[in-house]
Amino acid sequence: KNEVEQSPQNLTAQEGEFITINCSYSVGISALHWLQQHPGGGIVSLFMLSSGKKKHGRLIATINIQEKHSSLHITASHPRDSAVYICAVSASYGKLTFGQGTILTVHP
């Protein structure tokens, strides 16, 4: 079993829909990261959080430390949100352990 599990693996939505991507982890962590990878391959860090909730524009990330679970929400989704979303956790010495990613496709 992977230390970081994401669901779903693939997600297709219509423009405007509310999207949720889930991440569960099995190890103790110092922080959880949500990353976005576009088709060209470059990765952008969206959020780093260790408790509660963070919001940036249409993106919201939450974490429940007791349940070892985090969610990434996208409100009013748009085709430009189409990307791979990756959950990663920082455990020892800041080393990141990554989930397999969720491929999101938003159709106009």
| The only residue of 30, 51, 64, 105 in contact with another protein, by rule CB under 8 A | 30
How remote is the C-alpha of 58 from its chain's centroid? 13
| The only residue of 17, 48, 58, 82 in contact with another protein, by rule CB under 8 A | 48
Q: d(Cα 47, Cα 77) in Å, to the nearest integer? A: 18
* Region of 51-59, 64-72, 73-81, 97-105 interacting with another protein (CB under 8 A): 97-105
17 or 100, CB closer to another protein? 100
Residues forming contacts to another protein in the complex (CB under 8 A) are 2, 4, 30-31, 33, 35, 40-45, 48, 86, 88, 90, 93-101
